[in-house]
Every structure is written in C-alpha cells, then in structure tokens.
Structure 1
Amino acid sequence: MKKLAWLLLLAPLPLLAACLGDEEGGIAVPPLPVETKPVPEGRPSTAGPETPVAQAPPAAVPERGSEGGSPSIPLDAVSLERKIVYNARLDLEVGDVDRAVADVVAQATALGGFLVNTNVRDEGEGEQRRRVAEVTVRVPASVYGDALGRFCALASRVRSETVQSNDVTEEYADLDARLRNLRATEARYLELLAQARNVGEVLQVQDRLNAVRLEIERVQGRLNLLDRLSDMATITVRLQPPPPAVSEAPWRPSDVAADAWEALQAVMQALATAAIYFAIVGGWLLALVGLAVLVWRRWTPARGGA
C-alpha cells in the first residue's frame, strides 16, 4: 500500500518539469498542420488570414461546336440578310408602242414577274398627235439587272434611265427585334391572364393584351411589306415613238415673194385699221375742239365790251 501511494505522488513530477521547461524558453512544439481543402469558386472562405486556401481552377468553357456544350450566340453575331428595295424608270423610243407594251409584259412574265398597271393614250393634236404608254411591272430582285437590259433592247433609243435603291436592312432588324419583344410580352400577359382571380384583373390584363397584339399586327404588317418590296423590284417603262423628222425646204424665190406679199398685206391691213380708228375717234375729238373754240371766241368779246 505504501509503494502504491508513493507511485501516485511521484507520477505527476515529470509532467510538471516539462511544463516549467516550456515556460523558461524550451523548444516550442509546432502546431499541427491544418489540412486545407479547395474552396468552390464563388463561395467565401472560412479559413484564417494565415491559412493558405487552394483555389479551384476555372471551369473550361466549351467552344462553339464542341460536344457537351450549348454555346449561346450573341444577337450582334447573327448575320441578317440585306433588305434592299430597287426601283427604276426607263424612257424608251420604239417604233410600235402597242407592240412594245406587249413585249415588256411578256419579258417581265418570263422573268417571274407580273404586270402592275399600264396606261396607253394619245398625246398632241393634228400632225403632232402620237401614241404613248406607261407600263409598270415587278420582277424578282435577283433578275433586276437582266430585266433592265431586256427592256432597253426593245427600244431604238434610250432617252433616259433612272435607277434607285433603298437599303432597309436597319429598319427591318429593328422591327424584327421589336416583334420578338412584343411576343415575349404577349406570352407574359397570357400567363397573368391565367392567374387572374377576379373580373377586374381579367379585364385589365385583357386590355393590355389587346394593345400588345395590335402592335404585333402593325409591326408584322410592316415586316411583310418590306419583304415584298425587297423581294420584287419595281420598273416603270415609258414608251413613245421617235419624234417626226423635220426636213428643211429648199430656197425658192416664189416662196420669198409670197412671204413678202403676205407681210405687205399685213402692213396695209394695220394701216387701214389705224385710219378707221382715227376717222371715228378723231372726228369726235375735232368736233369737240371746234365747239370749245367757238364758245371761247364769243365769250371773250362780250367780256371786253362790258
């Protein structure tokens, strides 16, 4: 029993000596290494300021066309087909106007186009009277240049050719983007309409939905119009015969004498007209002047005698 008591009393002595040695500048026990774990990207780290944190490598971005990825294409990168509206006006001289009208329509139909309107009429009076026509056709934009060449080949002379093009690509792209936004708004209003709880909410959402649908129809109509105008070119052809040739008559003395005689007759007629006017108007003037002189002479002696 005494040996067991002494063993229990002496057992804590080595531990006490070790603690005293540490306080007097003994060897410091290094801390246990802290196991570090990678912190997922985007989550804050809970380690201390001196604890190194292993960063996870950035995720690989799948390239366009690679397997396992669905890359999103930005809107600006989408190439929009150019929308160009073509218009032209031709002024042609032809020998037979009616036949040329039929030829223009036939050429336009052969190229896949169609007749818009035609106007055939007579202009001028007498010897200057002539037949003219205006024909408006529409042909596919892809054969626009070919159509102009064929129409010009029908004429003996091309008096004028006016070609105009209008690029509406920017307007078309703006309308297309606006239409997509309106479609998305319509879908959202339909969702809200399904969630309406009373008649007031239904009427309010339905009113907004009707306004959006009206705007969709307007934008869609403008897009359809631009599609039609850009797909088909408009060509107006004016057809007229060549002006009559003016031939100069040779010099003839008899013609000169006839012209001189006509000029003399005109002068004599003018003089005779002036004489008649003077005889009628001048006679009255002379009578008035004579009467005034007679009154003056009689009045003057009467005043002198008085």
Structure 2
Amino acid sequence: MPPSRLLIYHADLRLKVANLPRASARLDSLVHRNGGYLSAATEVRAEGEWRQAITIRVAPARFQPLMAALGGLGTVEEKKLTTDDVTAQHADVAARLATKRAVEKRYIDLLARARKISEVLEVEGKIGEVREEIESTESHLKTLNDEVAYSIISLTCYQPLPQPVPEAPVVSFASRLVESFYTGWTLITSLLIGIVAIWPFLLLGGTGWWAVRRWRRSVAQAEV
C-alpha cells in the first residue's frame, strides 16, 4: 500500500462586506464550528475602507467546508487556492534527522572511551555541532507537520467607508474683482511683451513700406 500523501493547503480570500463588525462575529462562529482557530489578526481604517486581515488555521478535512462558509459572509472579490505536496520533503528531513541522531550517538560512545582531555574537548565540540543541526532539523520537521496538520486561510474582509465630499469654496465679489483685475493686467503685459518681441518685423515692415512709397513716387514723376 503506497504511503499517504502529505499535503499543505493554503488559500487567499478577499471579501467585501456590508458591516464589518457583524461579519467578524459570524466569522468567529464559523471558525469555531469547524474546529479552527485564528493565529493572527490585524485591523485598520485607511484609504476609504475598514479592513481586517486574518490568518485562520483549520484541519484539512474542514478546509473546503470552511472556505464555502466564509464566502457567504460577503462578496468574494479574490480567491486563490494552492496545494503543496511535501511527502518527499518530509521523508528527506526525517531521514536527515535520523542520520544526525545516529552520528550523535557515535560521538557519545567516543566520549565515553576518551582518555585524554584534548580528546574529550574535541568530541564534546563535535557533539555540540551535531546537536545544533539536530535542533534545526527537528524545527523544520515540526513546521512541516504543523502545516500538514492545519491548513492556512489568509482572509481579508473590508467594508467601504463613505468619503467626505469637500464643499465648493464660496468666491466673494471682491475676490472675483481682484482676479479680473489681475487677469486684465496679465493680458496687457503679455501684449506689450509680444510687441517688444516682434520689433524686428515691425522695423522691416516699416522700411519696406517706406521703400515702396518712394519707388511709386519716383515712377510717377518719371511718367510726367
């Protein structure tokens, strides 16, 4: 009979709710009813919404039923499910742990037979190193077992908050009069600056007009 697979289930769920306190109370009831618990929770009011971020742990057998129940708290805006098969990883970590424990036992046997202080110190140093590795591997294995035993649901519930509409500023007659005066003055200064800017064209135009008139006068005198 093949060994059972070791699976880690994880879900990301985002819900829009009409009333966050009411949804939160229903959430607690649903989690408790399905044998789960809340491992973390934060709440914040920002960017036009009242939001709760919650991490739920639940046994794999109740993972899908709880997900379906949570969807009834509001409008599901985002839902992501992932499944990680850690069977091979778990077996590898367990094998490494057994090997390190065997090494520790050999060092302990060597320590019992050591006669010199230098040998004792050397073996004790090796035992300290292998015990650190054993603790690290045990912690890794414990984490895998915990993730397999309790699936993770990362839930975000939020309630939109009404945004205040700023009132239109009241513009007084004096303010409008000052603004009109400033606009007129800006127009006049812009016109003067424009005339100054095109003085070469005015000069060329005047010179050309004078030359044409003089030419026409010369032609008229020649015909007479």
Q: TM-score when scaled to structure 2?
A: 0.71
1:90 paired with 2:13, answer yes
CA spacing shift, 1:94–1:284, aligned 2, 3 Å: closer
Which residue matches 2:78?
Answer: 160
Work out whether residues 60 and 151 of structure 2, in 8 Å CA contact, stay in contact via their aligned partners in 1: yes
Work out whether residues 105 and 137 of structure 1, in 8 Å CA contact, stay in contact via their aligned partners in 2: no
Question: In 1, distance between residues paired with 2:4 and 2:151?
Answer: 17
Work out whether residues 93 and 159 of structure 1, in 8 Å CA contact, stay in contact via their aligned partners in 2: yes
Question: In 2, distance between residues paired with 1:194 and 1:284?
Answer: 102
Amino acid at match of 2:34: L
RMSD of aligned residue pairs (Cα, Å): 3.0
CA spacing shift, 1:142–1:280, aligned 2, 3 Å: same
How much does 1:131 deviate? Answer: 2.6
Amino acid at match of 2:129: A
Q: For 2:8, what is the secondary structure of its paired residue?
A: strand
1:197 paired with 2:197, answer no
Question: In 1, distance between residues paired with 2:196 and 2:6?
Answer: 89
Amino acid at match of 2:155: V
Which residue matches 1:280?
Answer: 189
Amino acid at match of 2:189: I
Question: In 1, distance between residues paired with 2:76 and 2:161?
Answer: 13
CA spacing shift, 1:161–1:282, aligned 2, 3 Å: same
Seq. identity, %:
27
Which residue matches 2:221?
Answer: none
Which residue matches 2:63?
Answer: 144
Amino acid at match of 1:97: L
Q: Which of the two has greater strand per residue?
A: 2
1:92-241 aligned at under 5 Å gives the runs 92-124=15-47, 129-155=48-74, 157-241=75-159
Unaligned runs of 5+ in 1: 1-76, 245-268, 298-306
The higher-RCO structure (CA 8 Å, 6+ apart) is 2
CA spacing shift, 1:284–1:185, aligned 2, 3 Å: closer
Work out whether residues 58 and 152 of structure 2, in 8 Å CA contact, stay in contact via their aligned partners in 1: yes
How much does 1:80 deviate? Answer: 4.5
Q: Deviations over 1:89-147 (max 9, x none)?
A: 112232211111222122112222211222333344xxxx4433222211112211111
Amino acid at match of 1:279: I
**How many pairs align?**
185
Q: TM-score when scaled to structure 1?
A: 0.54
- Higher CA-based Rg: 1
Work out whether residues 101 and 135 of structure 1, in 8 Å CA contact, stay in contact via their aligned partners in 2: no
How much does 1:204 deviate? Answer: 1.2
Q: For 2:101, what is the secondary structure of its paired residue?
A: helix
Q: For 1:163, what is the secondary structure of its paired residue?
A: strand
Question: In 1, distance between residues paired with 2:196 and 2:67?
Answer: 81
